[in-house]
């Protein structure tokens, strides 16, 4: 996984998975931040990454929140940012 994945559309729209280090990109134009997924605990103390807001799957369960966050970022990078 690369630390930061950024997609620039042919129309010039910049899309990326938010990270504080990329915050300066918000000044590049009319910015809109929205939630693409939800990482939440399960009833038995595990974690899932719910990607249904971007028509994706629910990943997991994972033992740790960090594992769920990594899976979330990997899925979004591969299926959302790299879409044609």
Quick check: is 1 in a domain?
no
Phi/psi region, residue 12 (left: phi>0; alpha: psi -120 to 50; beta: rest), is left
CA distance 17 to 6: 7
pLDDT per residue as tens digits for the range 46-78:
999 999 999 999 999 999 999 999 999 999 999
| Structure confidence at residue 84 as a pLDDT band (50, 70, 90) | low
Quick check: is 38 in a domain?
yes
Quick check: is 43 in a domain?
yes
Tell me how many domains the chain contains. 1
Choice between 83 and 15, residue whose per-residue pLDDT is larger: 15
Domain that holds residue 15: 6-81
pLDDT per residue as tens digits for the range 14-44:
899 988 999 999 998 899 998 999 999 999 9
Does the structure show a pLDDT above 60 at 2?
no
Of 70, 31, 78, 30, nearest to 54 (Cα)? 78
> Residues with Cβ < 8 Å from 64, sequence gap 6 or more?
47
């Amino acid at each position: 996984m690369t630390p930061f994945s950024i997609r620039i559309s042919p129309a010039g729209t910049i899309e990326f998975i938010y990270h504080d280090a990329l915050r300066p990109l918000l000044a590049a134009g009319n910015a809109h931040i929205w939630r693409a997924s939800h990482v939440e605990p399960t009833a038995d103390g595990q974690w899932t990454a719910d990607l249904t807001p971007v028509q994706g799957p629910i990943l997991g369960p994972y033992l740790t929140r960090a594992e769920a966050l990594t899976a979330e970022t990997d899925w979004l990078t591969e299926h959302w940012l790299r879409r044609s």
